[in-house]
Amino acid sequence: PVDEEGLFHLINAVRAAGSTLLLTARRFPSAWGVRLPDLASRLKAAAMIEIHEPDDLLLAGVITKLFADRQVEVEPHVVQYLV
């Protein structure tokens, strides 16, 4: 359950301070069943993206970078094994 008034006041306080707010959820706000019209309006105006599970190529890139950041050379087959 969402504390609609609390979230609404948080969004307003963040905006008044000139800051940004990052919300994460398993579902888009349109599926939350928000009843407070002003909160629904704020949420509709927000930028939203869906983040998918990483694929093997992305995981390999992250692992390779982590090794490189530590100046560790690793063979590609080791990275594939870790993926």
Q: Are residues 36 and 59 in the same domain?
A: no
pLDDT at 9: 97
Measure the CA–CA gap between 79 and 83, rounded to whole angstroms: 6
Q: Are residues 82 and 64 in the same domain?
A: yes
pLDDT at 2: 77
Q: Are residues 11 and 34 in the same domain?
A: yes
Q: Are residues 8 and 41 in the same domain?
A: yes
Question: What tens digit of pLDDT does each residue of 50-81 get?
Answer: 999 999 999 999 999 999 999 999 999 999 99
Q: Are residues 40 and 56 in the same domain?
A: no
The residue type of 41 is S
Measure the CA–CA gap between 6 and 77, rounded to whole angstroms: 50
The answer to whether the beta carbons of residues 59 and 83 sit under 8 Å apart is yes
pTM of the model: 0.67
Total tally of structural domains belonging to the chain:
2
Q: Are residues 41 and 73 in the same domain?
A: no
Q: Are residues 36 and 61 in the same domain?
A: no
Full domain range(s) for residue 74: 52-83
